[in-house]
């Protein structure tokens, strides 16, 4: 019987990435996040994992593992956040301490010395400060004797019913004889499977689930662009901010009435519920995040769809099994 490779997980959130890695054949032995609502969800999702609910900067020792996983916070790298800062005060990303949490990942990398590591972040990380942050991370990984590859991946190409783009970085320690290749798409053009659309994912769920969606006015910024896609389309990206959660596909489409100006049509307009967002993220709908509706959307929206991480990690598991490590 093959021994399952072990993984240490940082910035674990509610456990989306770890769930996919577990399905691929990895034993997650330790995970960490300081968000109590994410921690509560994670403990239900992966109850056998030792979970450390603490600020990562306060953690001095990390356990050993074959793989290190890290989805460090991405707010400062998001294109939307940078647009808002430019509109306000031309904020410098380098002055935001939250953008340097990758240094704690490097600190853990030094301690754990894993054979492999996986990092996920928003695509804006690659262009933030003209690539300064991205290059600093790659330099840090390579200086620790890892061969590093990165790719912008499209979640819908792996069976996720939403258009979601994220950067993934994969590192293989230089003494490991694996030429890692990013997985080929399993869904969409050129594959045997079609994209999974919203009707297939959430078409049988309750249309007006009381208390499960953010029932707040659609403010001016919300109406600057189209927020509704139809049943036969992919969902827009599931986001962590309840105010900006996109619309349920029922009812009439929105109509563009001017530059950066859209209007709602009909009466069947509400934001997606947190439970629908969970399904569109590939998470189980029977686990409810703790906290208020904003907390629920934040926890679900920050997750990595497990279908993507399962595909990413499978190659490493197969290599470990074949090599008898």
pLDDT of 160-202, one tens digit each? 999 999 999 999 999 999 999 999 999 999 999 999 999 999 9
pTM of the predicted model, to two decimals?
0.91
Q: How far apart are CA 150 and CA 170, in angstroms?
A: 6
Sorting pLDDT into bands at 50, 70 and 90, what band is 98?
low
pLDDT tens for residues 15-45? 999 999 999 999 999 999 999 999 999 999 9
> Residue 261: beta bridge partners?
258
Query: Catalytic residue at 71?
Result: no
Sort strands 116-122 and 67-70 into parallel, antiparallel or unpaired: parallel
Confidence (pLDDT) at 182:
98
Q: How far apart are CA 226 and CA 196, in angstroms?
A: 21
Show the domains of the chain with their CATH numbers.
Answer: 6-186+304-323 (3.40.50.150)
Q: Is the pLDDT of residue 245 over 50?
A: yes
pLDDT tens for residues 119-168? 998 777 676 656 788 888 999 999 999 999 999 999 999 999 999 999 99
Sort strands 6-10 and 67-70 into parallel, antiparallel or unpaired: parallel
Three-class secondary structure of residue 116 per DSSP: strand
Q: Is the pLDDT of residue 306 over 50?
A: yes
* 239-247 mean pLDDT: 97
Confidence (pLDDT) at 78:
45
Confidence (pLDDT) at 131:
76
Q: Which of 14, 52, 71, 74 is the catalytic position?
A: 74
What percent of the chain is predicted at pLDDT more than 70? 90
Q: Cβ atoms within 10 A of the Cβ of 124, count?
A: 21
The number of residues in the chain equals 325
């Amino acid at each position: 019987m093959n021994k399952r490779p072990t993984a240490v997980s940082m910035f674990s959130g509610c456990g989306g990435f770890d769930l996919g890695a577990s399905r691929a054949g990895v034993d997650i032995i330790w995970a960490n996040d300081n968000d109590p609502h994410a921690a509560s969800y994670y403990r239900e999702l992966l109850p056998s994992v030792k979970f450390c609910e603490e600020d990562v900067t306060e953690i001095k020792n990390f356990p050993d593992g074959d793989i290190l996983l890290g989805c460090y916070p991405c707010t400062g790298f998001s294109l939307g956040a940078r647009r808002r800062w430019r509109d306000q005060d031309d904020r410098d990303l380098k002055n935001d301490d939250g953008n340097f949490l990758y240094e704690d990942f490097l600190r853990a990398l030094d301690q754990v010395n894993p054979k492999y590591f996986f990092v996920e972040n928003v695509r804006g990380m690659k262009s933030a400060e003209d690539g300064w942050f991205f290059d600093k991370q790659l330099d840090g990984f390579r200086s620790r004797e890892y061969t590093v590859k990165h790719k912008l991946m499209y979640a819908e190409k792996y069976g996720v019913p939403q258009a979601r783009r994220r950067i993934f970085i994969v590192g293989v320690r230089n003494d490991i004889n694996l030429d890692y290749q990013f997985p080929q798409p399993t869904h969409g053009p050129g594959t045997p499977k079609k994209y999974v659309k919203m009707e297939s994912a959430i078409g049988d769920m309750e249309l007006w689930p009381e208390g499960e969606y953010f029932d707040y006015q659609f403010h001016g910024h919300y109406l600057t662009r189209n927020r509704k896609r139809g049943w036969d389309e992919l969902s827009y990206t599931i986001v962590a901010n309840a105010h900006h959660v996109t619309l349920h596909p029922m009812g009439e489409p929105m109509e563009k009435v001017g530059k950066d100006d859209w209007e709602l049509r009909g009466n069947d307009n509400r934001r997606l519920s947190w439970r629908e967002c969970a399904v569109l993220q590939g998470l189980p709908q029977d686990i409810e995040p703790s906290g208020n509706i904003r907390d629920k959307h934040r926890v679900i929206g920050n997750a990595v769809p497990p279908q993507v991480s399962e595909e990413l990690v499978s190659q490493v598991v197969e290599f470990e099994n074949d090599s008898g490590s």
